[in-house]
Structure 1
Amino acid sequence: MISLAFGLVAAACWGLHDFCIRFISRSAPVSACLFAVMIFGLLFQTGLLVVTGNYDSIPKVSILPLLYAGVSFAIANAGLYVAFQRGPVWLAAPLVACFSIFAVAIAVIGGAAVSFGQLGAILMILTGITMIAVLADKDSTQETGKFWTVVSALIAAAAFASTFAFGQIAAEMTNGLISAILTRIVAIGVIFSGILALRLPLWPKSGALGILAIMGLLDGIAILSIMTAGNYPHPEYAAVTTAIYGLPTIWLASLVLKERITLKQWGGCLIVFIGVGYLAL
């Protein structure tokens, strides 16, 4: 039950975080938003490390997985921010949640077997996404030209799966908090280099810093919740409940930003996240 509660906290935090991307990116450059949130998230994690004193050595064999995880994390967040900035949320959120499918694919490449239940869950996810895309309200005034939303969201999903795979390898060699901090530091370096190379805005105006700091805090709390659930019975319950994080994002976008979503599309969203939840088991 405690693990379930931690999962719900993480889902709520990540759901609100992703909604904030859609909200704040309307008034601030997405590159500056991404960089600022990554910095604020690092400050939270570093403060947590100092408070807990959870220091650990960094074996040389963990350096390469951490580098791969950091690069993947940078790509994942770039894709995530672009997808939610372009919108609509009802399309971006389920596609990003497809990282579970990519995670299964990575496991299969590593020699793991896929059960009929997992294949069924993947089919559910694909069916739900098809419903969401095909059953859109043709009379709505939502954004057109959603191709790059789809591409960005799928890149984010694949990169998140890669981040988790390499991050888990590194975490087995040192503690999870150290791995998370080093992964974020590498990601910040990659994002900073990309922003400079493309001559994009690096830092937002002061008026946006408050909500970006909250976004960094939400991300940090979500990660902390998942880490803490590992200390209690049935930590897999946290993973399953976290998988629904996209639903509050979609609900907030429809309620606050008036992004129209049909009842049938809601059904497709539920099918997607049920499938994602099963794969998280």
Structure 2
Amino acid sequence: MISLAFGLVAAACWGIHDFCIRFISQNIPVSASMLAVMVFGLIFQLGLLVVTGSYTSIPAQGVLPLIGAGISFTLANVGLYLAFQRGPVWLAAPLVACFSVFSVGIAIIGGASFSIGQGAAILSILAGITIIAVLADKELVPTEGKIWTVITALLAAAGFAATFAFGQIATEMTNGLVSSVVMRVVAIGIILTGILALGLPLWPKAGTWRILAIMGVLDGIAILSVVTAGNYPNPEYAAVATAIYGLPTILLASVFLKERINAKQWAGCLLVFSGIAYLAL
């Protein structure tokens, strides 16, 4: 239950965070906004580290999992920002939420049992995503646009699942806060190197710093919650429960950004997240 609670905290934070991505990505370069959110998240986590005094050494066997988590976190965020920039949210969010399926798969590879009910839940998720995509208004979202949203969203899903797996392994050797800080430092280094090498925009607009700082804090809390679950039984439940974040993200986008979604697509969304909820049990 503790792992599940950490996942729900992460879900609430990421639900708002990802809605903000869709909102700001229409006016701010993805590279600049992603780097800024990463840095603000690091500042927040370093502050927690100082205040709580949660310093601890990292054993040699924990270095590779942390590097793996940082690389995975980078790929996950690149896919996430590109998917939400292209949109629509009702397609991107359920696909990114599929990291729960990847997380269960990783747990099974690690020796966890797999039931018929879990298989049915995964089929439910896939069926719901198919309904959402197929029944979209073709005039609003051309097929080519959907394909790139699907590709980048699935990249994000696989990246997040790997991030949680590596991060939770490292947390068993150190603690969640130290793991999160090191993982984020690795990711910032990779992102900054990529931005400079490709000549991408580095700085966001002056009037956007406040919302980017809020996003950084939300992201910092979320990733810390999921990684910290590695200290408790069934840490994969945290990763699975986190995927529920997509429902409030979709709702916020439909209300504030006027992204149209029909009744059959809402049914598909409910089918997806019902499957995810079952996997969290």
Same fold? TM cut 0.5: yes
AA in 2 matched with 1:162 = A
Q: Counterpart of 1:141?
A: 140
**1:97-151: CA deviations, max 9, x gaps?**
011111222233344442212111110110110110112234x534662211110
Aligned to 1:43: 43
- 8 Å CA contact 1:240–1:278 kept in 2: the answer is no
Q: CA deviation at 1:208?
A: 1.3
Q: For the residues of structure 1 that align with 2:226 and 2:105, how far apart are their CA atoms?
A: 23
Change (3 A) 1:197 1:280: farther
In 1, Cα distance between the equivalents of 2:267 and 2:10?
23
| 1:252 counterpart letter in structure 2 | L
Deviations 1:219-252 (A, max 9, x none): 1233455567789999888666533100111011
In the TM superposition, what is the alpha-carbon distance from 1:5 to its structure 2 partner?
6.5
Match of 2:114 in 1: 114
1:274 CA drift (Å): 1.6
Correspondence for 1:174: 174
Secondary structure class of the residue paired with 1:244: helix
The answer for the alignment partner of 1:74 in structure 2 is 74
Distance 1:152 1:197 in 2: 21
1:221 to 1:69, Cα distance in 2 relative to 1, 3 A: closer
Taking a change above 3 Å as real, the CA distance of residues 203 and 49 of structure 1, as seen in their structure-2 partners, is same
| 1:17-96 superposed matches below 5 A | 17-96=17-96
Contact 1:142 1:259 in 2 (8 A): no
Q: What's the offset of the Cα at 1:91?
A: 0.3
Return the alpha-carbon distance in structure 1 between the equivalents of residues 243 and 277 of structure 2. Answer: 5
Provide the residue aligned with 1:247 in structure 2. Answer: 247
Ranges in structure 1 where 5+ consecutive residues have no aligned partner = none
What is the aligned partner in structure 1 of residue 156 from structure 2? 156
The offset of 1:61, in angstroms, is 0.8
Q: Secondary structure at the match of 1:158?
A: helix
Partner SS state of residue 244, structure 2: coil
Gaps of at least 5 residues in structure 2 are none
Distance 1:67 1:2 in 2: 26
Shift of residue 279 of structure 1? 2.3
Tell me, in whole angstroms, the C-alpha distance in 2 between the residues paired with 1:245 and 1:256. 17
User: Compared with structure 1, are the counterparts of its residues 237 and 46 closer, same or farther at alpha carbon in structure 2 (3 Å cutoff)?
Assistant: same
1:275 deviates by: 1.2
- 3-state SS in 1 of match to 2:26: coil
Does 2:104 align with 1:104? yes
CA distance in 1: counterparts of 2:166 and 2:226, whole angstroms: 17
Q: Which amino acid aligns with 1:90?
A: W
AA aligned to 1:261 is I
Instruction: Return the alpha-carbon distance in structure 1 between the equivalents of residues 169 and 226 of structure 2.
Output: 17
Distance 1:132 1:110 in 2: 32
Asked if the contact 1:22–1:85 (Cα under 8 Å) also holds between the matched residues in 2, the reply is yes
Aligned-pair identity in percent equals 73
Q: 1:113 to 1:8 in 2, by over 3 A?
A: closer
TM-score where L is the length of structure 1: 0.91
Q: Distance in 1 between matches of 2:68 and 2:228?
A: 24
Partner of 1:256: 256
TM-score by length of structure 2 reads 0.91
Deviation at 1:168, TM superposition (A): 1.2
CA change 1:221–1:165 in 2 (3 A) is closer
Alpha-carbon distance in 2 for matches of 1:131, 1:112: 30
Report if aligned partners of 2:104, 2:236 keep a CA contact under 8 Å in 1: no
Alpha-carbon RMSD across the aligned residues, in angstroms, is: 2.5
Q: 2: CA distance between counterparts of 1:264 and 1:188?
A: 40
**Post-superposition CA distance 1:57-111 (Å, at most 9, x none):** 1101100111011000000001000000010000000000011111222233344
Q: Give the secondary structure class of the aligned counterpart of 2:274.
A: helix
The 8 Å contact of residues 96 and 157 in structure 2, kept in 1 or not, is answered as yes
Structure 2 distance, partners of 1:143, 1:16, is 27
